[in-house]
């Protein structure tokens, strides 16, 4: 799946980092994250999405057909 964080609404408090520290990171340059995540990591990504207070995390599931 693909991960996208809407930088216009992300407040960079880092709740997603606590939920999925291998996918999201908050450093001097602000929030960084893995854009492409294996489907096996879906529980962590969903936990991060749920933890985000402003719903800034968007997910796109890439189907087996490529679309």
Selection from 44, 24, 40, 20 nearest residue 32 by Cα:
24
Choice between 6 and 67, CB closer to ligand SF4: 6
Binding map of ligand SF4 across residues 3-42, x = CB under 6 A, - = no contact: --x----xxxxxxx--------------x-----------
Smallest gap from Cβ 58 to ligand SF4, in A, equals 10
d(CA 28, CA 60): 27
Position of tokens 């999201």? 24
DSSP class of residue 33 equals: E
Smallest gap from Cβ 26 to ligand SF4, in A, equals 6
């Amino acid at each position: 799946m693909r991960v996208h964080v809407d930088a216009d609404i992300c407040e960079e408090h880092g709740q997603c980092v606590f939920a999925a520290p291998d996918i999201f990171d908050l450093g001097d340059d602000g929030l960084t994250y893995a854009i492409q995540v294996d489907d096996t990591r879906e529980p962590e990504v969903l936990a991060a999405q749920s933890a985000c207070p402003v719903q800034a995390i968007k997910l796109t599931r890439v189907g087996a057909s490529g679309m």
